[in-house]
């Protein structure tokens, strides 16, 4: 089943076409990689799906609805969560409070109901706490629940960003370079969590990532952008061996990326 359909999606900045007439189908429950050289338009595509950047033209159809003109918070409420390249957290809040803030995006009470402690929030407090701790357990951060988010090492901050996204009850994760700055152990842990999101929770992920080896081992399918245009799409082992893809990355013929 197709969860996200992208049709003729384009974004121009003056005379520059950052993304040009892109078509993609993202299936429910798959891990889809979006790769390409620097400046190929990958993050621009994520920005348009997430709503932080409006397309010049084209459609973004999520669960049968064209969301191309909806603001980001409306897309979040429909089930799209963005994990940015930089750690975007409430740095003055604890690890647990960050996850509770993520929960507020799918709650009618919002942040005031959580932190101001309205009567309705008090009634839900125990349930929300238990769910937040479940998210932290998933990313192995239970022991750090009361620490300030700003004090976590980089790998743990990336894992916390994933927990916050999970707390929004999203169906689709937009992961912008989730492995950047991680050591090998942290990379393996993050890849394992993304697989578990798919296998146990049915969450769909679109990943922009420069670590091609990780992409090959993690993604079900990948597409390659070059100068804003899709030049290849398919199974990872086939795409990375594609001559056009190799030339886009290396500039000349060479070994597979």
* pLDDT tens-digit readout, 27-37: 999 999 999 99
Residue 83: the pLDDT is 87
Residue 248 — pLDDT band, cuts 50, 70, 90?
confident
Residue 102 — pLDDT band, cuts 50, 70, 90?
confident
Residue 88: the pLDDT is 67
Mean pLDDT of 239-245: 92
Residue 251 predicted with pLDDT over 90: no
Q: pTM for this structure?
A: 0.87
CATH 3.40.50.300 residue window(s) in the chain: 1-79+171-257, 87-169
Cα–Cα distances in angstroms (integers) from residue 50 to residues 33, 57, 213, 238, in the given order: 16, 15, 26, 28
What distance in Å separates the CA atoms of residue 159 and residue 140, rounded to the nearest whole number? 8
Residue 193 predicted with pLDDT over 70: yes
What Rg, from alpha-carbon coordinates, does the chain have? 19
For residue range 157-192, list pLDDT tens digits in order: 989 999 999 988 899 999 999 998 889 999 999 999
What distance in Å separates the CA atoms of residue 3 and residue 204, rounded to the nearest whole number? 8
For the domain covering 1-79+171-257, report its CATH number.
Answer: 3.40.50.300
Residue 87 — pLDDT band, cuts 50, 70, 90?
low
196 CB-near residues (< 8 Å, 6+ apart)? 138
Residue 18 — pLDDT band, cuts 50, 70, 90?
very high
For the domain covering 87-169, report its CATH number.
Answer: 3.40.50.300
Sheet arrangement for strand 204-208: 80-83, 172-176, 204-208, 31-35, 221-226, 229-234
């Amino acid at each position: 089943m197709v969860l996200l359909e992208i049709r003729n999606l384009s974004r121009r900045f003056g005379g520059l076409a950052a993304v040009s007439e892109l078509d993609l189908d993202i299936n429910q429950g798959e891990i889809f990689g979006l790769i390409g050289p620097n400046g190929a338009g990958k993050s621009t595509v994520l920005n348009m799906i997430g709503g932080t950047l409006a397309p010049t033209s084209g459609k973004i159809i999520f669960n049968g609805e064209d969301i191309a003109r909806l603001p980001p918070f409306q897309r979040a409420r429909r089930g799209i969560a963005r994990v940015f390249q930089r750690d975007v957290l409430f740095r003055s809040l604890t690890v647990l409070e960050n996850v509770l803030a993520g929960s507020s995006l799918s709650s009618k009470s919002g942040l005031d109901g959580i932190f101001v402690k309205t009567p309705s929030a008090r009634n839900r407090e125990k349930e929300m706490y238990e769910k937040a701790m479940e998210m932290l357990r998933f990313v192995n951060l239970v022991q750090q629940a009361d620490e300030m988010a700003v004090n976590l090492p980089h790998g743990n901050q990336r894992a916390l960003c994933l927990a916050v996204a999970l707390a929004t009850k999203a169906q689709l994760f937009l992961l912008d370079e989730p492995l950047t700055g991680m050591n090998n152990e942290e990379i393996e842990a993050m890849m394992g969590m993304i697989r578990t999101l798919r296998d146990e929770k049915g969450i769909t992920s679109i990943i922009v990532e420069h670590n091609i080896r990780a992409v090959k081992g993690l993604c079900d399918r990948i597409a390659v952008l070059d100068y804003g245009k899709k030049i290849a799409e398919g199974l990872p082992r086939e795409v990375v061996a594609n001559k056009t893809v190799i030339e886009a990355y290396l500039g000349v013929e060479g070994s597979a990326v």
